[in-house]
Amino acid sequence: MRLSACFLIAAFSTTVFSAPIPSNTLAVPEPVTQEPRDLSGILGGQNTGPIQLPKSPCEAVIHAVSTSSMSDYPALTGFYNLLYLWLEPLSTTIPAIMIWTVPGAAWFHHQLIPDSSPAPLNASMDPRSLMGIWQLGNCYLLLGMLEGLGLRAIRDALPNNAVAQERLAGTILTAMAIADVTHIAASWFALPPALQYTPADWNATTHGNITLVIFLFATRLAWFAGIGRKRYWYGQQVVQSKSKKTK
């Protein structure tokens, strides 16, 4: 039974696929070409030309984030956007959570000064020291929220207003730059003299308080100097005054 069915199928296939096919059925429609749409009205009056779609989902996400960052927040783009809206707020929020939960306040208190002795876990602290460390964690959390939420509020309240964005964001970054200097000084001068000039002996907490903050301070100076971005307020008054004098 199965053999007969196979012969019937083979005969039918031979008859169908060997029969001549009319020429009109082989006509392949020509691809429809469409001129790129003019998106000048959508993109703020700028004709961007043909749209190039990303090749992968990862590229699509990166393209969407970078495009949103460039169009909505011209005063804080690229690396500065990633650092000040995401990385630095996380770097201050995580220590606060660690102080209040695990490894705890005693561990953080021990890590402030590099020591070869093991860090105590769940050790008791006197009430004054415990209160001070808990309040320090609260300051870390406050700093992260002020930066992350404050800079986002500037972006959402003043979309595409680069001058106003830069003036307000610069105010926040000025305060943080001053705090960077005082934080570095307090962390370095409080170290024992034998550790002040031996960074190789510092632990992760000491590098976070000094080395990382030096890097953050340098990024703020770079932002004010217009390195890696276009300036809209800072430095523009000097440029305008020079251009007027030349005229």
Higher-confidence residue of 117 and 25: namely 117
How far, in Å, CA of 56 to CA of 135, rounded? 46
User: Above pLDDT 70, what percent of the chain?
Assistant: 67
Tell me the H-state helices in 112-209.
127-157, 162-189, 193-196, 204-209
Residue 89 is which amino acid?
P
Model pTM? Answer: 0.71
Q: Which of 71-75, 159-163, 195-199 has the lowest mean pLDDT?
A: 71-75
- Place 122 in a pLDDT band, splitting at 50, 70 and 90: low
How far, in Å, CA of 141 to CA of 92, rounded? 6
Please give the pLDDT value at position 158: 97
Q: Which long-range contacts (CB under 8 A, 24 or more apart) does 111-117 make?
A: 111/203, 111/204, 111/205, 111/206, 112/190, 112/205, 112/206, 112/209, 113/190, 113/191, 113/192, 113/195, 113/206, 114/195, 114/201, 114/202, 114/203, 114/206
